[in-house]
Amino acid sequence: MSQPPLAIVILAAGKGTRMKSDLHKVLHPLAGKPMLIHLIDTAEALAPERTVVVVGAGREQVEAAVTPRGAAIAHQAEQLGTGHAVAQAETALAGFEGDVLILYGDVPLVQAATMQRMLDRLHGADAPAAVVLGFRPADAAAYGRIITEPDSDRIATMVEFKDATPAERAETLCNSGLMAVSSRDLFALLARVGNDNAAGEYYLPDIVMLARADGRVTAVIETSEGEVAGVNSRAELAVVGAAWQVERRARAMADGATLIAPETVWFAHDTVIGRDVVIEPNVFFGPGVRVADGATIRAFSHIEGAEIGAGVEVGPYARLRPGAVLEEGAKVGNFVEVKKARLGRGAKANHLTYLGDAEVGAGANVGAGTITCNYDGFFKYKTVIGANAFIGSNSALVAPVTIGDGAIVAAGSVVTRDVEADALTLVRPEQVSKPGWAARFREQMRARKAAKAGK
């Protein structure tokens, strides 16, 4: 039986003062993508009909981030608790009939499969009014507690830590805050929630006990502590980011990549790694990187926005910036930087080189110390190096300039005009030697120094 339509409500109204940042808490990046967008993208796997983000302070930042993704905004002007926050989504969900999944913008790691389990349980045989996502942390601390009926996932009691008795605080099953509720029940129950509690707030979990008082069943499903880890500080963001990286590294290795020192490799949210790729220690991938089968990424390389072809070798100590494309068998060695440049099949730049706004033909060899002079302070210009061309060490190619196929540029040249195919270009003064000059110079300098010291 198909499930009813789905709406996602994401709470993101908290001020996030512990982040000590001008950037809204839920927009802090996790593996190069804002936490909130991680969550929205994960929920998209469930094909929601509507997505509503409840905002408070910093609403302009959040609205700018989520509106292009089709999410609606609901504003919580006063921070009066989670129940009050969800209630602000009622207008945005007017006319909607189906399931509502309530998530938190600072809990970014919850998986689509877990969300689906919540929805599946909502349509179980006993038709619970609400399904809560629970977990058992190593330290239950100040989490709200969930107490179930004996040998059952049915909820007997849910209570906030501040209001719990010592016996209730001794329970280990905790409330993550995530919940699935039918739209026909959600706002009717929220309208009955009061704020007669230690914090004077309207708690979302209170709808569970209100439903139970009506004789309805409510249920809990459990997940791991890590999946529902929240982020309220920079330290917690680092912990959640590290957990994400652990999972991503394991997936890369399971898919056929070799990570020599997995704990030192950092992936972005969209990094694509092929089979038989070898990644040496201390490699950082920024967003937008694709690595084809059989490539080798050597130690201490920094790569973002780049396409790396099959059998390519990068590094060590290489930097690939956005727009770098390395075709099959190309090689970029130590202390080479590539930006908005394409290296053709088998092309090489082995060391100490900058290639920006350039096209390097197949089989070309770019010597050490070569730079493409692509910027005059106002505009960027392109350098084209033909197939099988050879660029000698310590050359400067002043763009716009084209080096023809098979041409040779002698070491130390400053090339300002196009070079025809198969030509030799040598741009440097003739070498002049003056026999004995160095010895005479040293003698003069020593005499001058002695005379100065004798004064």
Question: Catalytic residues, which ones?
Answer: 351
What's the length of the chain? 455
What gap in Å lies between CA 108 and CA 117, rounded to an integer? 17
Backbone angles phi, psi at 107, to 5 degrees: -125, 80
Q: Are 247 and 263 in contact (CB under 8 A)?
A: no
Q: First-to-last CA distance in the chain?
A: 104
Residue for token pair 């129940």: 83
Q: How many helices (H) and strands (E) does the chain have?
A: 9, 33
CA angle 232–14–175, rounded 5-degree value? 65
Cα distances from 302 to residues 112, 267, 282, in angstroms, run: 31, 11, 9
- Distance between CA atoms of 101 and 131, rounded to whole angstroms? 9
Strand 383-385 to 348-360 pairing: parallel
User: DSSP 3-state assignment of 348?
Assistant: strand
**DSSP bridge partners of 341:** 358
SS3 percent helix, strand, coil of the chain, rounded to 5, is 25, 30, 45
Give the tokens for residue 229.
């880890």
Helical (H) or strand (E) element with 187 = helix 183-190
Rg (CA), the chain: 31
Per the CB < 8 A criterion, the answer to whether 223 and 121 are in contact is no
C-alpha to C-alpha distance for 14 and 28, rounded to whole angstroms: 13
Q: Judge whether 72 and 49 are in contact, CB under 8 Å.
A: no
CA–CA distance, 381 with 403 (Å, rounded to integer): 14
- Give CA 229 to chain center in angstroms: 17
Do strands 278-279 and 258-259 pair parallel, antiparallel, or not at all (unpaired)?
A: parallel
